Amino acid sequence: MATAALAQNQVVLKTQLPPPLFVGTPVPLNVPNLEPPTRGKRADFYVPAGTVNLARNKKVTSSDNNPIVGTLDMIDDGDKDGNEGSWVELGPGKQWVQIDLARRVNIYAVLVWHFHSQARVYRDVVVQVSDDPTFRSGVMTVFNNDYSNNFGIGAGKDLSYIETYQGKLIDAKGVAGRYVRLYSNGNTANKLNHYIEVEVWGKPAV
Amino acid sequence: MGQARRLKPPIGRAGVPKWARWAAFPLIALLGLLLRLPQLGARPMHTDEAVNAYIVGQLLAGKPFTYDPQDRHGPALAALALPLARIQGAKSFSDLTESELRLTAVLAGTVTILLLGAAVEMFGFVPCLVAALLFAAAPLPVYYDRYFIHESLFAVATFGLIFTGWRACKGQSIAQAALAAACAALMLACKETALLHFFALAAAGFVFWRWNLRDRGLAGLWLPRAAPAAAAAFLLVSILLFTWFGGNSKALAALLQAAPNLLVRAGGEGHQKPFWYFAQLLAGGWSGGVILALACIGFFQTARKRDPSPFGFLAFYAFFLGIIYCLIPYKTPWLALNFWLPIALFAGLAIESLWRLPAKHPALRIAIPVCYILMGAVAAALIAHDTEQRVFLHAADETNPYAYAHTSEDLLALPAEIDRLARQGAIAVPRIAVIASDPWPLPWYLRHFSEVGFWQPGQQPGKADFYITSTEAADRYGDQLQNFRPEFFGVRPGVLILLWSPAPK
């Protein structure tokens, strides 16, 4: 009964997807230890009713405050197009971006589009949530595929994945916090870090 | 009729002391060398470079060069790279380095600059000087003269053919005719596209004779006695190179298949580009438009009159070559190096003509040279910017139009990662199985590992410590890869491979 009641309060997360810019790759990958392929549309992901994208036009800071291409506000401006002019390019190596959601919220999903005009994998992707803007205390990790612990914040066990126009949907399981920080460490094409869009789906914390 | 009257002397030849000529061109060649040598091994090996490196590795192992018109170009590059690699101490494929191999192209590019010094009699001092400077410092020749492919060698052989061919006609020299034929053979031994150049040269020669020389008698241009010597030189050099100095007579039969293969390849084979591709490429960057505009000025200045100088011939050659390359769907950026000789010389001709303008307008005798010097300084700054960006800072970046389907820098980390994981797992000699339909350039990057095997998707590779699979091949080996952890590496833009290493327990 409780499960049914819970299910009744769940709705499908609906986000606007950009047009796909490459086909053919990624190709079917059905092997262990690897992110399953995205064949067609991603399976529906359920979130509590009333969940919205809380990141839209919120303040973004970064380890690189002078991006090589674009500006940090492009990360949550709603533009998910994969073409040039829609992404922000941060410097080489380890970098992070941080979104201030302005208040403490429960987060059910984080959607991130790094780059989707060609098949790429971004390295050491970590997503954390905290009430501390410095991320020194009360940090909760919701995704981590930095299995070599290059960032020194703990080795992750999540799987690497190929970027697509559907973005990477991360199940945040309702974790509470005000700040969302996303790490990356270059990609398979170059050492630079890119963000097209980040969405944080949640509700004000109870 | 004297020889000097048969072929008109080039513009601006007189008045330059010999010492200036002999000092200028070696100095410019030195500048070219200084721009080509730094960080020569830094850029990742392109697939074509890796294939050429593998061929040199086979030669180092004592195997003969086997000409295969389907998958390989001619033997000329390997024939020059082999002794250079040996001089530098390489004894096997695994000893080879990027710098050792790319030195061949660097030297070919440097010889081109020196050859411009020798061609002053033909094209004049100022055009040759400007052309030499452009060859030495402009981004396109500097980039591809640091690339272990056939193009630089092909370009210098083409210039050698034009230079010695002209001298053979002018001086009625059998020796020069034989040299020209040897250059033609070298072109053929570089790339089968030599046939296109031979056609463009023949067509240019014919039209130049009919139009510019007004059907002047062939007796003054053509020495019948030179024909047997030229034919003998062409056959000798071709046979020596293609049969790998007599060791492989089957290569000559294979050579006959080159033309049909060339026709198939010309269709595109995935490298189709629009007809304006080369114009767009050459006009790109901060400096491309300036250089191309100057070249166009020089070209039209020559084309608008029946110029009997070598520039008249060069204009027809550039015209026919441009038509051929633009019409053929198959286009890669390094082919643009073939246009660089006419572009650089016509740009030089335009600069010389512009420089002479003040003499015709005495009122502007001071202002115009000052203006030209300033414009020259700006052009030099633009060229320096493009060369720095394209050759050094973003040599393998996909935003660089010269870096075509280039190997990603990410792949450089693959051998180091295998080394690290092997040490971590106490594996002294890691066995590596590569499963991919197109594994290049992995043979180059895995050359330091002694136990590496390559399989096609669907084949059974047996047990290995590490597997490297293409993304396409990976899902066929689910059971075998059950206890392995994958890591992505970028091979080329949009192309990924997976390194599978034993999962931590």
* Yes or no, beta carbons of A119 and B478 under 8 Å apart: no
Q: Are strands B431-435 and B451-455 parallel, antiparallel or unpaired?
A: parallel
Cβ atoms of B396 and B415 closer than 8 Å: no
The average pLDDT across B271-297 equals: 94
Task: Identify the CA nearest to B157 among candidates B341, B343, B33.
Answer: B341
Indicate if the pLDDT at residue B7 is higher than 50.
no
d(CA B114, CA B91): 31
* Yes or no, beta carbons of B475 and A186 under 8 Å apart: no
Q: Which among B475, B484, B491 is the top mutation candidate for probing chain A, defined by the most A β-carbons within 10 Å of its own β-carbon?
A: B475
Q: What pLDDT does residue B11 have? A: 44
Q: What pLDDT does residue A5 have? A: 42
> pLDDT digit string (tens) for B441-480?
999 999 999 999 999 988 888 889 999 998 878 878 888 8
The average pLDDT across A73-95 equals: 93
> pLDDT digit string (tens) for A139-170?
999 999 998 899 999 999 898 888 989 999 99
The average pLDDT across B139-159 equals: 97
* Yes or no, beta carbons of A147 and B496 under 8 Å apart: no
Q: What pLDDT does residue B68 have? A: 80
Q: What pLDDT does residue B488 have? A: 92
* Yes or no, beta carbons of A189 and B398 under 8 Å apart: yes
Task: Identify the CA nearest to B298 among candidates B282, B318, B284.
Answer: B318
Q: What pLDDT does residue B221 have? A: 66
* Yes or no, beta carbons of B494 and A119 under 8 Å apart: yes
Query: How distant is the Cα of A187 from the closest Cα of chain B, in angstroms?
Result: 8
Indicate if the pLDDT at residue A3 is higher than 50.
no
d(CA A94, CA A191): 9
d(CA B335, CA B375): 29
Q: What pLDDT does residue B472 have? A: 79
The average pLDDT across A12-29 equals: 56
> pLDDT digit string (tens) for A104-136?
999 999 999 999 888 889 999 999 999 999 999
The average pLDDT across B371-392 equals: 94
- pLDDT grade, residue A96 (50/70/90)? very high
Residues of A in contact with B489 (CB under 8 A): 188
d(CA B421, CA B501): 7
Q: What pLDDT does residue B271 have? A: 82
- Provide the whole-model pTM: 0.86
Indicate if the pLDDT at residue B268 is higher than 90.
no
Cβ atoms of B489 and B415 closer than 8 Å: no
Residue that wins the pLDDT comparison between A111 and B254: A111
- pLDDT grade, residue A69 (50/70/90)? very high
The average pLDDT across B424-448 equals: 92
Query: How distant is the Cα of B396 from the closest Cα of chain A, in angstroms?
Result: 9
Cβ neighbours around B218 below 10 Å, total: 12
d(CA A113, CA B447): 37
Q: Which among B412, B414, B496, B505 is the top mutation candidate for probing chain A, defined by the most A β-carbons within 10 Å of its own β-carbon?
A: B496
> pLDDT digit string (tens) for B337-358?
999 999 999 999 999 998 877 6
> pLDDT digit string (tens) for A35-50?
655 556 788 999 999 9
Query: How distant is the Cα of A85 from the closest Cα of chain B, in angstroms?
Result: 14
d(CA B488, CA B411): 10
- pLDDT grade, residue B12 (50/70/90)? very low
* Yes or no, beta carbons of B409 and A191 under 8 Å apart: yes
Q: What pLDDT does residue B15 have? A: 66
The average pLDDT across B26-31 equals: 97
Q: For the purposes of burial, counting CB atoms within 10 Å of the CB of A43, is it exposed (0-12), middle (13-18) or buried (19 or more)?
A: exposed
Q: What pLDDT does residue A4 have? A: 45
d(CA A135, CA A129): 8
Q: Is B193 helix (H, G, I), strand (E, B) or coil?
A: coil
Nearest residue on chain A to B417, alpha-carbon basis: A148
Cβ atoms of B184 and B198 closer than 8 Å: yes
Indicate if the pLDDT at residue B372 is higher than 60.
yes
Cβ neighbours around B438 below 10 Å, total: 12
d(CA A180, CA A56): 13
Peptide bond into B430 cis (omega under 30): no
Indicate if the pLDDT at residue B6 is higher than 50.
no
Q: What pLDDT does residue B354 have? A: 86
Query: How distant is the Cα of A26 from the closest Cα of chain B, in angstroms?
Result: 8
| Residue B154, phi then psi, degrees to nearest 5 | -65, -40
Cα(first)–Cα(last) distance of chain A, in Å?
A: 23
Query: How distant is the Cα of B430 from the closest Cα of chain A, in angstroms?
Result: 20
Cβ atoms of A175 and A138 closer than 8 Å: no
Instruction: Write the single-letter amino acid at A160.
Output: S
d(CA B433, CA B453): 5
Query: How distant is the Cα of A201 from the closest Cα of chain B, in angstroms?
Result: 29
B409, B472, B486 ranked by CB distance to A34: nearest: B486
Q: What is the ipTM of this complex?
A: 0.73
d(CA B60, CA B86): 8
Q: What pLDDT does residue A23 have? A: 42
Q: What pLDDT does residue B314 have? A: 96
Q: What percent of chain B has pLDDT over 70?
A: 93
* Yes or no, beta carbons of A29 and B474 under 8 Å apart: yes
The average pLDDT across B57-62 equals: 94
Indicate if the pLDDT at residue B401 is higher than 50.
yes
Q: What pLDDT does residue A177 have? A: 96
The average pLDDT across A9-17 equals: 77
Residues of B in contact with A189 (CB under 8 A): 398, 408, 410, 490, 493
Q: What pLDDT does residue B359 have? A: 62
Residue that wins the pLDDT comparison between B321 and B70: B321
Q: For the purposes of burial, counting CB atoms within 10 Å of the CB of A71, is it exposed (0-12), middle (13-18) or buried (19 or more)?
A: exposed
Q: Between the CA of residue B257 and those of B68, B70, B264, B270, B411, what are the distances in Å?
A: 9, 9, 11, 21, 35
Of A19-33, A68-82, B32-46, B409-423, minimum mean pLDDT range: A19-33
Residue that wins the pLDDT comparison between B241 and B8: B241
Q: What pLDDT does residue B116 have? A: 96
Q: Between the CA of residue B137 and those of B129, B142, B478, what are the distances in Å?
A: 12, 6, 52
Residue that wins the pLDDT comparison between A32 and A67: A67
Instruction: Write the single-letter amino acid at B174.
Output: I
Task: Identify the CA nearest to B497 among candidates A200, A15, A119.
Answer: A119
Residues of B in contact with A121 (CB under 8 A): 488, 490, 496
Residues of A in contact with B475 (CB under 8 A): 28-31
Of A131-140, B8-17, B195-204, minimum mean pLDDT range: B8-17
d(CA A35, CA B307): 67
The average pLDDT across B322-339 equals: 94
- pLDDT grade, residue A24 (50/70/90)? very low
